Amino acid sequence: MVGAREMFCTLVLIATTAACPSRPALGTVLAVMVPGDSDAAKAATEFRPDRSLEEVGASYCARGLERFLPGSYYYCVGRRELAKGHAAASANALEQAARWASKQAQFLLGVGYYKGDFVPLDRARGLAWLTLAAERGDVVYLAVLNSARGHALPEELRKAEQLLQDMKMTYGDEVAARRAERRYRRERDALTRGEVYGAVICIEGLNVDHIGSGGCQAAQPVWMVARKVDNHAAELFQGWQGHVTVGDLQPWPNR
């Protein structure tokens, strides 16, 4: 197991959505993955986490998001449980998220297996997860994958390729992303059917933190909640060429 700070640095990189993380942050992950990489180690010395491990562990995961985007919800749960030191719960949630097209979850599982951090050490399985995470061409995930592959044994590479062929059938974008988008579209359509009537709604974690016994006291227009769902969807499906963006709903005019 790596130290808490090393694991935290990985968590912080994942938390950025890998949209455009800094060189020091990437260097930190590479330094953890491949200790002999001098350039990565130098970059890692410049990295300063912007939140504590306790703050990551206290993250709120929107329960209502699971209905629309299980990949986003379970990734949040998996990252939070990992930060709290709950390895088994984290691995279970991350695998659920990976099944629903979360590249962040797949990447974190790849790092975990490659290093034996919170799951049993299995470098070949780690390489397979990292390959899945990088299939949309994210530059950070590709950099980590290439570095890990460059330090893998030939037998590990062969086993990783065999594992990858099986894992693609469940976790590859051709299956997982299409599954996730079908779920998203179905539930979003169900949500917006009442929009033309000017309906308001409460969804836990999206427009209210908690719906108590007294019911929802802060309902919002359906179009406003749907837009929040769309923002999460844009993040989950980022880089996937098969995804068709859903346009924003507009407020229905008063009559």
81 vs 221, more confident: 81
CB 43 within 8 A of CB 23: yes
Residue type, 71: G
**Structure confidence by residue, pLDDT tens digits, 97-137:** 999 999 999 998 998 899 887 888 999 999 999 999 999 99
Position 252 scores a pLDDT of 39
pTM of the model: 0.81
Burial bucket for residue 254 (CB in 10 Å: 0-12, 13-18, 19+):
exposed
35 vs 225, more confident: 225
Averaged pLDDT score across all residues of the chain? 78
What band does 223 get if pLDDT is binned at 50, 70 and 90?
confident
Q: Which residues of 84-99 are buried (b: 16+ CB within 10 A; e: fewer)?
A: bebeeebbebbbbbbb
How far is residue 54 from each of residues 5, 42, 125, measured CA to CA in Å?
12, 26, 29
What band does 204 get if pLDDT is binned at 50, 70 and 90?
confident
Contacts of 168 by beta carbon, 8 Å cutoff, 6+ apart: 132, 174, 175
- What count of other Cβ atoms lies within 10 Å of the Cβ of residue 240? 17
What band does 221 get if pLDDT is binned at 50, 70 and 90?
confident
Position 16 scores a pLDDT of 44
Position 250 scores a pLDDT of 45
Q: Is 70 exceeded by the pLDDT of residue 45?
A: no
